[in-house]
Structure 1
Amino acid sequence: MKDPLLLENQICFKIYTAEREITKLYRGLLEEIGVTYPQYLTLLVLWEDGTVSVKELGRKLFLDSGTLTPMLKRMEANGLVERHRSVEDERSVVISLTNKGEAMKEKAACVPTQLLQRLEMDGEELERLDQTLTTILGRLQGKGSK
């Protein structure tokens, strides 16, 4: 039986370390297009959904408004997004892409492919990893079967 207190047997440490290494890879790729990793994630949501409320963006990215607001202000200052009050509910702030933010999609199109090349993973490995991580996240969030 494995010793549960050895660092090498800690799955959380392996996930944490892998996340840090992948974030380093992303940092290098995203520097080329001029955005940070959280900004890239925000752009992914906006490219997919179009306009989104700050609340919905936070829900999708698992970030609170205290983290999102300064980042969105920087993105707005860089001309990538616009923030405005919702017409339906003035308490809600809505985020949408500018033309520059929309054009960024073309620059970012190569990022996923480059990341996969650097990870040296084939489609089957990636699919298994995706399924495993989806299962773990679902269980941690109380959405999966026990």
Structure 2
Amino acid sequence: MTPADAPATAVGTVRRRIEHVDTDASGVVHFSRYVSLLETFVLDHFEEHGAGLARIAELGADLAVTELTVRYRRPGAYRDPIVGEVVVEHVGAARVRVAASLLREETNGSRTELASGTLTFAAVHPTTGGPVPLPPTVRHTLKGITPDAARHDTAAH
């Protein structure tokens, strides 16, 4: 089964640890790194479903962030185990809006939100940077992992 054939899920999760490069001299995640971590989790989620940057490039496009909002909740620290939760909220002809949360996994199994945000990506031409439509197969794949698609998939079974 290829990632594109995987069942649709409304919320994707990606795991990793806070690394040294993510922190300031005191071992706390630098505010600017939350944005990078959120974007990494989103792009990993796309990749898991066969709609990653390499696939988009093969189809003659690239993605550029056109809008970003971030809300900081709590500090993360070096080596904290973190989970990124990603929800593709909207897929249009040339744009994708995604919500993402960065959560610390606590020793008791609970999760503490460190930051959350919304990223809007636009499809652009790889050379000129001008707007282009999302490649149809990528648009279809991303629409298949929206919460609405998951509800429709569940209702069909």
TM-score category, normalised to shorter length = under 0.3
Q: Which has the higher contact order (CA 8 A, sep 6+)?
A: 2
Specify which structure has the higher proportion of strand.
Answer: 2
Larger radius of gyration: 1
- TM (norm. structure 1) is 0.25
Specify which structure has the higher proportion of helix.
Answer: 1
- TM (norm. structure 2) is 0.24
